[in-house]
Structure 1
């Protein structure tokens, strides 16, 4: 039985969080939401093994930023890329190979493309007919 992929979206703007969640859900991705780094770390502690993707804003309110959330995620999934988002012009290179960077403000077509990529990456391969 196929389980749809899941993504933890960490975004402090409620409007952006809901937009990202809606676009991912429309592509068949289960969404877990967090509006702060602290909330994201709590979710990762309890459900981290079940989360296939991380989409995190780098600048978050509080003491825990997106880099720290990504580090905690990579402790669970060391080879899985992370999708980072920021308004900043320069981004530190703390990413793992294959990670992506999305600049805010988001372009809807960009997010739809990322959601489709996440859904395809973990979908079971189609079975070929024997013949």
Structure 2
């Protein structure tokens, strides 16, 4: 089994989910991906205790939003960080220790850098240097 830090990425935009997954994997992360809050809760039931952090869109289709996903994640892993993402200029404020908020659009490499920082701060396995296509 890999010692790579494992992140659950929850994003309903399939293109963004694919890009985030690819770039995080290139940076040395193990990724579990979900395109809805409901799918994320299913994954949390099976993989929740193995996850090192969560990256979730706040606004997801269906009954389960990113706040709810993060609440369930925090019940399982209260000491682990959460990155919230949204297109809104102002996030609904729910102070959670160990969480960050990023505004869309963002550069995928920004998220990978945050993941690397979180891994280092948590004493998790170091992440390899990302390999980006020239852009």
TM-score (norm 2): 0.85
Aligned residues: 124
Q: Which runs of 5+ in 1 are unaligned?
A: 125-131
Displacement of 1:5 in angstroms is 0.6
C-alpha distance in 2 between matches for 1:57 and 1:112: 15
Q: How does 1:60-79 map to 2 (within 5 A)?
A: 60-79=60-79
Higher-Rg structure is 1
C-alpha distance 28-89 of structure 1, shift in aligned 2 (>3 A): same
Structure 2: unaligned runs, 5 residues or longer: 127-135
Rounded to whole Å, the distance in 1 between the matches of 2:6 and 2:104 is 22
Normalising by structure 1, we get a TM-score of 0.87
Residue 30 (structure 1) shift: 0.2
Distance in 1, Cα, partners of 2:95 & 2:19 = 24
The 8 Å contact of residues 81 and 118 in structure 2, kept in 1 or not, is answered as no
Q: Which residue of 1 aligns with 2:111?
A: 111
- Bigger drift between 16-25 and 32-41 goes to 16-25
Report matched runs for 1:58-97 at 5 Å. Answer: 58-97=58-97
What CA deviation, in whole Å up to 9, does each residue of 1:57-104 have, x standing for no partner? 000000000000000000001122210000011112224212111100
Counterpart in 2 of 1:44?
A: 44
